Amino acid sequence: MATPREKWTATVLYLASLSLPLYVLHAQFFDNLVLHFDRVTIKRMPELPLRFRSDGTFKILQVADMHFGNGVMTRCRDVSRSQFRYCSDLNTSQFVRRLIEAEKPDFIAFTGDNIFGTSTSDAAESLFKAFAPAVESRLPWAAILGNHDQESTMTREELMSLISLMDFSVSQVNPSVENSSEPKKETPLMDIDGFGNYNLAVQGAAGSVMENCSILDLFFLDSGDRATVDGRKTYGWIKDSQLHWFHSISQGIKGKDCDHKGDFFQSTKTPPALTFFHIPIPEIRQLYLQKIVGQFQEAVGCSSVNSGVLQALGSLKNVKAVFIGHDHINDFCGNLKGIWFCYGGGSGYHGYGLEGWPRRARVILLELSKGEKSWTGVHRILTWKRVDDETLTKIDEQVLWEQQPLI
């Protein structure tokens, strides 16, 4: 005959055997049938408009080719044996955080291959992790896509849409045009190739005569991913529709939002512009035999199609420099027909690199001219790189462009 203790134990086990299946059923199915009222979060916006500082400077941090995977479980490539054991995507994040803390930029530009699709099980989750240092900084930032971002669980359009909705991002899926039926409402421009074509205006320093003027333009272009041309695989390229948009918007911003005629606009007609895209143009190969600042260590990974980007940008006269990525162990700047083309240098530890050659990123500094009473237009554009060593060593500082005085 069972004792009271044995009867009590049997009862408990019996009840547990009944409740366990019910718990599993609830966890797996019932929870999905219940309406949840989760807290709605609103995108946090940076302080806008983009503007030069009161000291007459505007600093951009270019981060190229993070190649972020799944985080701590994603291993590094092309690092020393002593580094490899504890090296992961977290090294990339730490590098970006250190750069932000050291340089204190006004704006961060991510120039593609932000995530490495084939190493990413959830593209959205990887994007949030990859851009976390920028979001944490609360600085305005923008991104374009490379040729690897879409190789996971999201299309290029979905990726750019998510990026545009992230906190403190000023990225756009594509440019907008004013709706003629509703003048205050803008609609996306659909007749353009790619996703991530847009421009951002930077205004003059607060309190200056240029305070309400767009004195610098930042253009972002989608250079695509891969394509097949005449039966052969090649990288993507910037299409005619994008160049047409670029040309039309550049022509439309001559002295935009400026109601005075200062020496700056009399001499330049159009504010200077910087352009950002991922895949280099074919002419970059010509720089191998020319004077450059930095290192040319690998073949240029460009498209077999030359769509006339150099000629198009050169004809506008306002583009002073182009900043690209894609080729991780090229980090040079070289001049083609009056326009500087600068690699960012690979910043991501899961992207390929060169053992003993530290990951790096580029900094761009723009300085204003000082008028008699206040800051005026852009006077000079400088750039340098920071490498991921103990002191974030600064290398290859150079002047890209300087406004010539009126004659």
List, for residues 310-354, the tens digit of each pLDDT value. 999 999 999 999 999 999 999 999 999 999 999 999 999 999 999
Angle, vertex CA 187, rays to CA 185 and CA 190, nearest 5: 170
Go through the domains of the chain in sequence order and give each one's CATH number: 45-402 (3.60.21.10)
Q: Which residue has the higher pLDDT, 9 or 219?
A: 219
3-state secondary structure (DSSP) of residue 181: coil
| Closest to 387 measured CA to CA, from 71, 140, 102 | 102
Distance CA 358, CA 222 (A): 27
As beta bridge partners, residue 141 has 108, 169
Centre a 10 Å sphere on the Cβ of residue 30 and count the other Cβ atoms it contains: 10
Centre a 10 Å sphere on the Cβ of residue 308 and count the other Cβ atoms it contains: 15
Residue 176 has what pLDDT? 76
Mean pLDDT of the chain: 89
Place 191 in a pLDDT band, splitting at 50, 70 and 90: confident
Q: Are 301 and 278 in contact (CB under 8 A)?
A: no
Distance CA 111, CA 277 (A): 6
| Closest to 357 measured CA to CA, from 397, 385, 316 | 385
pLDDT tens by residue, 20-40: 665 555 555 544 545 455 566
Chain centroid to CA 385: 16
Q: Which residue has the tokens 């594509």?
A: 174
Q: Are 218 and 229 in contact (CB under 8 A)?
A: no
Asked if the model's pLDDT at residue 12 lies above 60, the reply is no
pLDDT tens by residue, 269-306: 689 999 999 999 999 999 999 999 999 999 999 999 99
Residue 60 has what pLDDT? 98
Residue 2 has what pLDDT? 63
pLDDT tens by residue, 66-116: 999 999 999 999 999 999 989 999 999 999 999 999 999 999 999 999 999
| Closest to 382 measured CA to CA, from 60, 51, 53, 49 | 60
